[in-house]
Copies of this chain bind each other. A is one copy, B any other.
């Protein structure tokens, strides 16, 4: 119920997912508006069910307060369904902080994980996706946390993108091992001794180059990186639009190249990438952008289903137990 165009995008995305994939969808939210949206589309025979939740968390609600006070919010009910085993995973395009807090405290953290991490996909110039974590579940991370992020990110990347040995990198301010701050220097030293395809430090520039698959960083850095990228795309699109509108010739030119722009916009479109999973909680949780459209919701459902089928959390616990036994953690 918390997304910018809820429950319309959520219902449409659920219908797409139920139609195209082998999933059952539980639509959790206020029964009346959800049923009303559902009635607008043919959905007979589709495995979709409505679960009533009376409360709605707004984008401006404080996360911990929303978790504590709105016990019958759609997010809270979702998390309880996952916790109770009635659902294999949850998807939300609502208040990110509230979803993270609710998932963390309702589902709990995996035994082997100190802090969950939010993993965001970035499109690259090679047509691949690079995944950055953490993009805002924690701040002031310690080296041991980044070590866990690396393992979780690798397992997630393998599960979703099918890469056997994803290239894992540490976000820093120079490629050399000695460049960086106290946190990254110590983390670099730990990562290079792990059973990972650790390719060293990367700079901000390489987030979009496709040179690496998994990019590990503290959640403050990752959140700034994510938000600055969103802001810059908006700025570029605004500037380009204004320039293209500035003369008749360029307007005609725009019409002729419209398909190219649509292709360009599609490549820039977050909705293709299926949201950001919160890794490290006991239960699959995928968080979509507040602006998620039906396609974004569908892809987030796909990611949640794939992570559940890949037994993501069992693998995280297994691999981190091995790291711990090896004495690195």
Interface residues of A (CB under 8 A from B): 123-125, 136, 139-140, 171-173, 180-182, 184, 203-209, 217, 219-221, 223-236, 238-240, 243-244, 246-247, 249-261, 263-264, 267-268
Is B231 a contact partner of A209 (Cβ separation < 8 A)?
yes
A243 to B125, CA, bound (A): 12
Q: Taking A232-B233, A255-B253 as contacts, is the C-beta distance between A227 and B205 under 8 angstroms?
A: yes
Nearest neighbor of A123 in chain B, beta-carbon distance: B235
Is B249 a contact partner of A256 (Cβ separation < 8 A)?
yes
A184 to B: closest C-beta gap in Å? 8
Q: Taking A173-B139, A253-B257 as contacts, is the C-beta distance between A236 and B204 under 8 angstroms?
A: no
Q: List 9 A-B contacts (CB under 8 A).
A: A204-B223, A204-B224, A205-B227, A205-B230, A207-B232, A209-B231, A232-B232, A239-B267, A246-B259
Contacting residues, chain B, for A125 (C-beta < 8 A): 234-235, 238-239
Nearest neighbor of A231 in chain B, beta-carbon distance: B205
Interchain residue pairs A-B with the least CB separation, the first 9: A253-B256, A253-B257, A204-B227, A204-B228, A205-B231, A208-B235, A250-B260, A250-B257, A139-B181
A255 to B180, CA, bound (A): 44
Nearest neighbor of A223 in chain B, beta-carbon distance: B173
Is A259 a contact partner of B239 (Cβ separation < 8 A)?
no
Partner of A228, one of B136, B180, B207, B236: B207
Is A236 a contact partner of B233 (Cβ separation < 8 A)?
yes
Contacting residues, chain B, for A229 (C-beta < 8 A): 204, 228, 232
A269 to B: closest C-beta gap in Å? 11
A164 to B184, CA, bound (A): 39
Contacting residues, chain B, for A217 (C-beta < 8 A): 224
A74 to B167, CA, bound (A): 40
Nearest neighbor of A139 in chain B, beta-carbon distance: B181
Is B260 a contact partner of A256 (Cβ separation < 8 A)?
no
A243 to B: closest C-beta gap in Å? 4
A203 to B234, CA, bound (A): 14
A256 to B249, CA, bound (A): 6
A235 to B129, CA, bound (A): 13
A112 to B: closest C-beta gap in Å? 25
Contacting residues, chain B, for A223 (C-beta < 8 A): 173, 203-204
A38 to B225, CA, bound (A): 42
Nearest neighbor of A208 in chain B, beta-carbon distance: B235
A250 to B221, CA, bound (A): 38
A44 to B79, CA, bound (A): 77
Q: Taking A256-B253, A257-B249 as contacts, is the C-beta distance between A205 and B180 under 8 angstroms?
A: no
A303 to B: closest C-beta gap in Å? 23
Nearest neighbor of A218 in chain B, beta-carbon distance: B181
Contacting residues, chain B, for A244 (C-beta < 8 A): 257, 260
Contacting residues, chain B, for A256 (C-beta < 8 A): 249-250, 252-253, 256
A217 to B171, CA, bound (A): 17
